[in-house]
């Protein structure tokens, strides 16, 4: 294993019992061999991006340190999604029992078939930026600016996520 790298992970769910699923996912991520939890945001209720008619999402962001490779973390997170009941191959942005995304992996830029870091759209998503701003408002997103600046630049046409817990 390599030295522990700071990582940021987005969590989302809008099927089943989202609050319990996110709490369980946070505990499961914190328990991963090679992961140490540094900070976690509150949970936020947000409007879904995808097809109409789906329930609101609950979202959160974690900061941790990971002592493995980016793809090993991706594999671990996808295993947690599968264990929670997520089935891959569904319509893009469809309702999910659990969605875990690596937002940042240290200062690395990664672009391969399985993983893009920084996450390709994190800089324009309120459901990522609000929880991220809670735990790391001055964090710099490579090539984009600080979380605080990105949050201030969001369009005013979306509702502000509601902090629920």
Whether 138 sits among the annotated catalytic residues: the reply is no
Q: Which residue has the tokens 């005013």?
A: 156
- The alpha carbon of 72 is separated from its chain's Cα centroid by a whole number of angstroms, namely 16
Q: Which of 23, 87, 96, 158 is catalytic?
A: 96
Q: Which helix (H) or strand (E) holds 5?
A: strand 5-13
CB 6 within 8 A of CB 142: no
Tokens of 92: 């893009």
Q: Which of 45, 99, 125, 126 is catalytic?
A: 99
Whether 96 sits among the annotated catalytic residues: the reply is yes
Whether 86 sits among the annotated catalytic residues: the reply is yes
Q: Which of 45, 86, 125, 126 is catalytic?
A: 86
Whether 101 sits among the annotated catalytic residues: the reply is yes
Q: Which of 101, 126, 138, 144 is catalytic?
A: 101
Catalytic residues: 86, 96, 99, 101
């Amino acid at each position: 294993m390599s030295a522990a790298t700071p990582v940021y992970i987005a969590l989302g769910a809008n099927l089943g019992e989202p609050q319990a699923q996110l709490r369980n996912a946070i505990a499961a991520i914190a328990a991963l061999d090679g992961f140490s939890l540094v900070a976690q945001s509150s949970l936020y209720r947000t409007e879904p991006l995808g097809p109409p008619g789906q329930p609101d999402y609950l979202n959160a962001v974690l900061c941790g340190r990971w002592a493995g490779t980016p793809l090993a973390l991706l594999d671990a997170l996808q295993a947690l999604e599968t264990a929670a009941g997520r089935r891959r191959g569904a319509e893009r942005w469809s309702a999910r029992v659990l969605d875990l995304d690596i937002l940042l992996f240290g200062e690395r830029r990664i672009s391969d078939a399985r993983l893009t870091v920084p996450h390709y759209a994190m800089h324009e998503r309120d459901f990522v930026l609000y929880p991220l701003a809670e735990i790391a408002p001055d964090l710099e997103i490579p090539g984009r600016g600080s979380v605080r600046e990105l949050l201030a630049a969001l369009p005013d046409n979306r509702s502000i996520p509601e902090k629920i817990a």
